[in-house]
Structure 1
């Protein structure tokens, strides 16, 4: 923290989190010469991609690989190594993030093993940040990149009855032997996201669990990792590039139907493999990605069951009237969006529902930015990068935000459009189409640059926090 003797022309920024999104923000701030401090609860960068992260927030399991391809996951100005596979292992991704930070040279701006426990916007507009050490600091701007895949969401309400076996959330799963030994056991997995399918396929191998049942509440689309020898997202540009012209011209439903028919022709439809038929159009929900599921179902390694009706001891009863005896139930029911360092008046997401302008800004605050608070149909890293470019342009005076009324109107329009397009679910409240979203951010950046020029390119946030010494610990 500055000692008060130096004067910075640009506002000082606090970044919460040094995961994949936090470091994207740090890089853009660093490149723009904006002074910042980043606080990370763990002892290293990488967040969710650090296997068994000491902060306890990582949901990575031992066998985890990315589900978007290597080239589409990478930051636009730092490609992943060419010898990485199409779908790298989590350990390779963590190494990549380390290399990114060192390549751009801002590791010294990250304070490790130092969580932010409280963030309060004072009446004068400054952010008062309390660290786990008890120290308080003042900042002109706050960027929040704490992620939203770390606070497990359990079913509420749970099915009635008592289950006498093991219950765990997928967040705590490591491998078939940890944290509980599931080898030779009968396991019910609840959910149909990527984690649910990965766990079902891994445990379905006979050297692992004895029997695996996948409980599916409704029909979902399954997307393979490959089309022939091409990765699943071969037809998309990197989010840093404008979407192909055809995808901008065609209505979204047409594009979705073309992809749906392509998948069906190569891999069949979900109902062809014993899964419930989707009750919604392709693209109206986040698809599950798996190249192995249909093989496991067809081999008898994974049995499909409907939603759970009730428990009775070790018996699990399903809504189709069938039941199985189980040793364990794994809930793959997603995560809650929570901000443990905010009071609910500052920022809250009841039922995971939160509406922000461009998925980033609450119009009440011109110096608070939420980074990567989205559910993308691509990797998060390029999205955080595009958001951070806009933030850096704003803090240097090159870009001006719209007025609060305009932001509120555009926020509500976008939020309602998402709700009308996607299946009503806690999973889809912050959904984005990556190409469209990133393209829209770049268009907004151009508009805001014109607004800034009209206003004289003045700094929107004055550098005031540097004039105040860090507040003493209480």
Structure 2
């Protein structure tokens, strides 16, 4: 059964405080974004004692425009790239009056409603930064925080890392040669079209944010140039008037079926070569999908000019590898993000080139009690995946689930890595790739096996 059809109605609101079972392992959740609140909700309803620490004063992470935690990449025209039914938590559908692809402010409101519906807002310590997470002498985890009450260190049996992976901006390395007289910003620091108004803008990158910013620049800037080093297959958000992702596939189907669906979608959307972009050097399904309803329109109108990769910067111009150039007084680098954990010792956990092998994208086999939530690049939405991960962890901490042997865990991790290597071209953006429906199906299968182990 595909995940989409599982959502029918909202679970009953939680109106009374859920008692805490102090005999259970104590947990810590880092972050109150979409993954952190999923974790907090499941731990709370399971009676697990826990603390949730949020650096800012807002719920919703990157979906909050100008989030007080200072790490959000949200901009004023941002909307989801997964349709509402596919993005929502399984027991809390988005409001029926939302558009097919909700705006950032609607997503933020949805997260606020989620927290209040299940009654766990009081478990979140706002304005509290996790400074350090390290192994305690007994194998548990010491977590040092700073906040309104000063600096505090507490010891936990489990730490759930939900600090997100779209906040530590990745700039071109090495930097392009030459000098530039204008302004350079990363897409992380883009907020509004006012930053583009009247400028000669060059947007660099082929992802969703790059296309959103290029489209907005085409209505605000003096000139808009879109520089693409490697062309992607750009899908449309709608097919025959319906959100294109609402044809959900059974999770047990092999990958080639998902890849075939992406190929069909890419073919139906049409080639980007007619707009001056080179043909992609990979097949549809071999990279993370990108979507846009308006980029073709703006390219066809000449409002956005497509160019290949940058060769060098030249004062008030940008020179491209085909010898062409464009005027520029603002470069927006939509060049992605690094996966980092500032509270973890890099000698303990590091994600070089964004590669952090995890079992089921959640469990670090060498560090028992340390879990990672939402650390995926999903062909689909992250929220239901983080929800499933959170439910799984809560079940583990309450004793309802027992994992397989260490040998099995490592064998599965290796097999998943080999599969990803076959499916996607080598890139930092593909180190965490998962197929939404298959991932949820596979995790539920493992949980059933783990419940059987727990009851035997």
TM-score (norm 1): 0.89
> Is residue 167 from structure 1 mapped to residue 179 from structure 2 by the alignment?
no
Kindly tell me: are residues 151 and 262 of structure 1, through their superposed partners in 2, closer, same or farther at Cα, counting changes over 3 Å?
closer
Could you tell me which residue of structure 1 aligns to residue 434 of structure 2?
Answer: 432
Among 256, 274, 280, the residue aligned to 1:253: 256
Kindly tell me: are residues 66 and 213 of structure 1, through their superposed partners in 2, closer, same or farther at Cα, counting changes over 3 Å?
same
Counterpart CA distance in 1 for 2:289 and 2:298 is: 18
1:323-379, CA deviations, whole angstroms, 9 ceiling, x for partnerless residues? 122111110000000000000122110111110111111111221110111111111
Could you tell me which residue of structure 2 aligns to residue 364 of structure 1?
Answer: 366
Contact 1:220/1:276, CA 8 A, preserved across alignment = no
Distance apart, 1:140 and its partner CA: 1.2
Counterpart CA distance in 1 for 2:125 and 2:448 is: 34
Contact 1:153/1:336, CA 8 A, preserved across alignment = yes
Q: Give matches, 1:226-265, under 5 Å.
A: 226-236=238-248, 243-244=249-250, 248-249=252-253, 251-265=254-268
Contact 2:258/2:285, CA 8 A, preserved across alignment = no
Contact 2:199/2:221, CA 8 A, preserved across alignment = yes
1:378-424, CA deviations, whole angstroms, 9 ceiling, x for partnerless residues? 11110000111111111111101122222122112212221221011
Counterpart CA distance in 2 for 1:384 and 1:280 is: 29
Q: Give matches, 1:321-332, under 5 Å.
A: 321-332=323-334
Counterpart CA distance in 2 for 1:258 and 1:450 is: 35
Q: Give matches, 1:285-364, under 5 Å.
A: 285-364=287-366
Kindly tell me: are residues 365 and 258 of structure 1, through their superposed partners in 2, closer, same or farther at Cα, counting changes over 3 Å?
closer
Contact 1:286/1:377, CA 8 A, preserved across alignment = yes
Could you tell me which residue of structure 2 aligns to residue 54 of structure 1?
Answer: 68
Could you tell me which residue of structure 2 aligns to residue 18 of structure 1?
Answer: 32
Counterpart CA distance in 1 for 2:316 and 2:51 is: 51
Could you tell me which residue of structure 2 aligns to residue 467 of structure 1?
Answer: none
Counterpart CA distance in 2 for 1:375 and 1:158 is: 26
> Runs of 4+ in structure 1 displaced over 3 angstroms?
none
1:225-284, CA deviations, whole angstroms, 9 ceiling, x for partnerless residues? 100111011102xxxxxx43xx744x433542344234423x312223332211111111
Could you tell me which residue of structure 2 aligns to residue 28 of structure 1?
Answer: 42
Mark the runs of 5 or more structure 2 residues left unpaired by the alignment.
1-19
Could you tell me which residue of structure 1 aligns to residue 405 of structure 2?
Answer: 403
Distance apart, 1:144 and its partner CA: 0.6
Q: Give matches, 1:142-157, under 5 Å.
A: 142-157=159-174
Distance apart, 1:50 and its partner CA: 0.9
Distance apart, 1:123 and its partner CA: 2.4
1:153-186, CA deviations, whole angstroms, 9 ceiling, x for partnerless residues? 10101211111111110000011224xxx21111
Could you tell me which residue of structure 1 aligns to residue 158 of structure 2?
Answer: 141
The higher-RCO structure (CA 8 Å, 6+ apart) is 1
Contact 1:364/1:404, CA 8 A, preserved across alignment = no
Counterpart CA distance in 2 for 1:141 and 1:264 is: 46
> Is residue 281 from structure 1 mapped to residue 298 from structure 2 by the alignment?
no
Kindly tell me: are residues 354 and 406 of structure 1, through their superposed partners in 2, closer, same or farther at Cα, counting changes over 3 Å?
same
Mark the runs of 5 or more structure 1 residues left unpaired by the alignment.
1-5, 237-242, 455-474
